[in-house]
Structure 1
Amino acid sequence: MSMTDLLGAEDIKKAVEAFTAVDSFDYKKFFQMVGLKKKSPDDIKKVFHILDKDKSGFIEEDELGFILKGFYPDARDLSVKETKMLMAAGDKDGDGKIDVDEFFSLVAKS
């Protein structure tokens, strides 16, 4: 399954293009722009599993740095600052990774 099976390709492209500048990424706006917030819990879970590249059941910090590429392969990597900010927003239990429930919360806050 690919991201475009769940979200509109044009919405994804526009969202990625909106955050091309380094340190401009805003996950709340991004999730809104790609239409993730409007998706069912099942679809949000599917997006999580696409972003969980190593299939560990978590999105670790190194995977988080490539989150935009999970939506659009030609997208840029997040900066270290953006990655740490996103991890801080999503990692509620402080274990250094985001599980599916934390991802749901992150999307819900957007």
Structure 2
Amino acid sequence: QSRLTSNFTRMMTWAGEVRSLQVRANADTPHDALMARDFGAQGIGLCRTEHMFFNEERIFLVRKMIVAENDKVRDEALKKLLPIQRGDFTEIFKVMDGFPVT
């Protein structure tokens, strides 16, 4: 876990005064987005949705969806995954507070 020091904050302030580019982060989860904002990112340049499903509970649902033997089982898994993904995006957009997410 990284933490911001006063020296880092001072350096980033100086850099911000003369920069001509925006810095965007790769962030796939609300936690990643929060860290990116903490470190001064001005948006998310790459949000890979498949990475949202890597934790143990979520990957089980993805695997269930992929290997489903029929549409009913596949649809059941997708119905559980959709609110998870929507929730993650809702939190990412809240954290980014108007900054771009692509």
Work out whether the TM-score is over 0.5: no
Q: TM-score, normalised by structure 1?
A: 0.29
Could you tell me the TM-score, scaled by structure 2's length? 0.30
